[in-house]
């Protein structure tokens, strides 16, 4: 029946099919049923021959269907005559099936609508209501917070005054990341928070009754709770590519936020100045101590040399050299006299007066030479001899020369230490000064409301998926 209905038959064709079915003695309940019955009997209700058989010429001898009287108009009837003028109570199975399907579809639609309504109620309760409450808080209750931004960087001096007149003009470079990270860590530490609270009252500012309960701090809060507020309202970031440290300070009053930022910058500058101070002091102290010791040693060596010179009164080396020169001269003279005496004695009849004179000269030169040798022996032997004095003077002079070299080296090290200390100096340069803002930066009402919606929607989605998975596992 459904297939026949989908064929799109016209009303004329259906009436014709009813008439053909009645002509063949069939009892259809409807026009579509007539088409079905005729096709079941193997009769095509729309064949031209069948259509022509239904046409009865006027005055003809053909009998009308159902033996109707001549001249009577025969119309298709729904129920054949014969005492069955009431409609049949029997329902076609196909129609019954279609009716049951319609009932099922209506029930499914009703249940879907009920589930959708329950889903909308749950979404409204678990997502919509918290979002509305969050938006109401952000727009009407939350205390406006003002943010003050500032930027600074840490640089170190690369110039040196010992490199000439252009040493102080050498360019500086950024300090290494360790100094910046150390400064950032200090500003985010509890020590900086306690110092800021002591100087300008950080805790008392956030404990004011005018701040909403969510953002207000308990006046009797511990240091750990205050530190949580501090980390939330003081945000510091370090950019290693540029060497810049960015700081954002949040407060309920723009002027207070600017004051907080200025004090934190002062703390950072003090910390930067103290980063390398110990190293500079240690290097300079060691170099200064070594220099002072070297100066003292040179002074002692010089005093010892002068003392020896004063005690001796003469130069032992010069005296020894003079004695040696005299001995050498007398030995040369004695050799000459001995040669002269030998020449005189070789004469068979020498002049006695000349021989006696030369012999006297030889004797006197020998005596003088013996005295000089004795004097030389006394100068080179004994603990207080001229040789010992000369050795002492040479050692003292060597000590003085070594002390001069050590003093020169110590002076060089002193200059290097001073140069290194100048290189280790750190400077904090403020790129962006803190300025009090005129409009509130927090809370970001629209963004926070959307974030609230996304958070609760995600929570609801996770809970729903978890409940569905557990329900499916339990029902298996």
Q: Which two tokens stand for residue 446?
A: 């629209």
- pLDDT value for 197: 92
pLDDT in tens, 110-141: 999 999 999 999 999 999 999 999 999 999 99
- pLDDT value for 339: 84
Beta bridge partners of 323: none
Q: pLDDT higher for 117 or 427?
A: 117
C-alpha torsion 35→39→41→45, nearest 10: 60
pLDDT in tens, 428-471: 888 899 999 888 888 899 999 999 999 999 999 999 999 888 88
- pLDDT value for 308: 67
pLDDT in tens, 138-163: 999 999 999 999 999 888 765 544 44
CB 190 within 8 A of CB 234: no
Provide the whole-model pTM: 0.53
Question: In the structure, what pLDDT confidence band is assigned to residue 90 with cuts at 50, 70 and 90?
Answer: low
Q: Which two tokens stand for residue 146?
A: 């003002």
pLDDT in tens, 363-419: 888 888 878 777 666 655 554 555 566 666 677 778 778 888 888 888 887 787 777
Give the separation between CA 353 and CA 325, rounded to whole angstroms: 31
Q: Which two tokens stand for residue 108?
A: 């499914």
List of long-range contacts for 307-313, beta carbons under 8 Å, 24+ apart: 308/389, 308/392, 308/393, 308/396, 309/393, 312/389, 312/393
CB 175 within 8 A of CB 426: yes
Closest CA to 376 of 364, 363, 390, 362: 390
Question: In the structure, what pLDDT confidence band is assigned to residue 334 with cuts at 50, 70 and 90?
Answer: confident
- pLDDT value for 273: 79
Q: How many residues does the chain have?
A: 476
**pLDDT at 69 exceeding the cut of 50:** no
- pLDDT value for 359: 80
pLDDT in tens, 341-371: 788 787 777 777 877 787 888 888 888 887 8
Burial class (CB in 10 A: 0-12, 13-18, 19+), 150: buried
pLDDT in tens, 189-241: 999 999 999 999 999 999 999 899 988 998 888 999 999 999 999 999 998 88
- pLDDT value for 52: 52
Give the separation between CA 265 and CA 468, rounded to whole angstroms: 55
């Amino acid at each position: 029946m459904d297939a026949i209905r989908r064929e799109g038959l016209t009303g004329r064709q259906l009436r014709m099919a009813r008439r053909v079915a009645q002509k063949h003695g069939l009892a259809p309940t409807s026009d579509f049923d007539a088409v079905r019955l005729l096709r079941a009997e193997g009769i095509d209700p729309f064949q031209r021959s069948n259509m022509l058989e239904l046409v009865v010429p006027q005055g003809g001898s053909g009998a009308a269907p159902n033996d109707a009287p001549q001249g009577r108009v025969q119309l298709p009837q729904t129920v054949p005559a014969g005492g069955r003028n009431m409609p049949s109570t029997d329902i076609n199975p196909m129609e019954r099936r279609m009716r049951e399907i319609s009932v099922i579809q209506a029930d499914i639609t009703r249940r879907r609508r009920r589930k959708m309504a329950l889903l909308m109620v749950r979404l409204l309760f678990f997502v919509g209501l918290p979002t509305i409450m969050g938006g109401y808080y952000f727009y009407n209750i939350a205390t406006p917070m003002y943010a003050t931004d500032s930027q600074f960087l840490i640089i170190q001096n690369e110039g040196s005054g010992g490199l000439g007149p252009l040493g102080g003009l050498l360019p500086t470079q950024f300090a290494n990341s360790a100094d910046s990270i150390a400064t950032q860590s200090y500003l985010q530490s509890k020590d900086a928070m306690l110092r800021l609270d002591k100087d300008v009252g950080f805790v008392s500012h956030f404990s004011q009754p005018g701040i909403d309960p969510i953002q207000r701090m308990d006046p009797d809060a511990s240091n750990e709770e205050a530190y949580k507020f501090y980390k939330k309202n003081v945000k510091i970031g370090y950019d290693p590519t540029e060497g810049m440290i960015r700081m954002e300070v949040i407060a309920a009053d723009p002027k207070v936020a600017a004051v907080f930022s200025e004090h934190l910058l002062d703390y950072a500058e003090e910390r930067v100045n103290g980063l390398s101070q110990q190293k500079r002091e240690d290097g300079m102290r060691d170099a200064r101590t070594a220099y002072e010791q070297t100066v003292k040693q040179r002074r002692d060596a010089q005093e010892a040399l002068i003392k020896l010179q004063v005690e001796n009164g003469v130069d032992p080396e010069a005296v020894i050299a003079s004695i040696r020169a005299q001995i050498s001269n007398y030995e040369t003279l004695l050799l000459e006299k001995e040669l002269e005496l030998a020449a005189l004695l070789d004469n068979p009849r020498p002049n006695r007066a000349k021989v006696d004179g030369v012999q006297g000269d030889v004797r006197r030169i020998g005596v003088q030479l013996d005295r000089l040798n004795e004097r030389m022996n006394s100068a080179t032997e004994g603990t207080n001899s001229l040789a010992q004095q000369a050795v002492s003077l040479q050692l003292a002079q060597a000590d003085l020369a070594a002390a001069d070299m050590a003093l020169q080296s110590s002076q060089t090290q002193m200059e290097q230490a001073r140069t290194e200390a100048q290189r280790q100096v750190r400077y904090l340069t403020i790129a962006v000064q803190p300025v009090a803002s005129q409009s509130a930066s927090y809370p970001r009402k629209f963004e926070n409301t959307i974030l609230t919606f996304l958070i609760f929607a995600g929570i609801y989605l996770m809970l729903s998926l978890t409940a569905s998975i557990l329900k499916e596992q339990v029902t298996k």
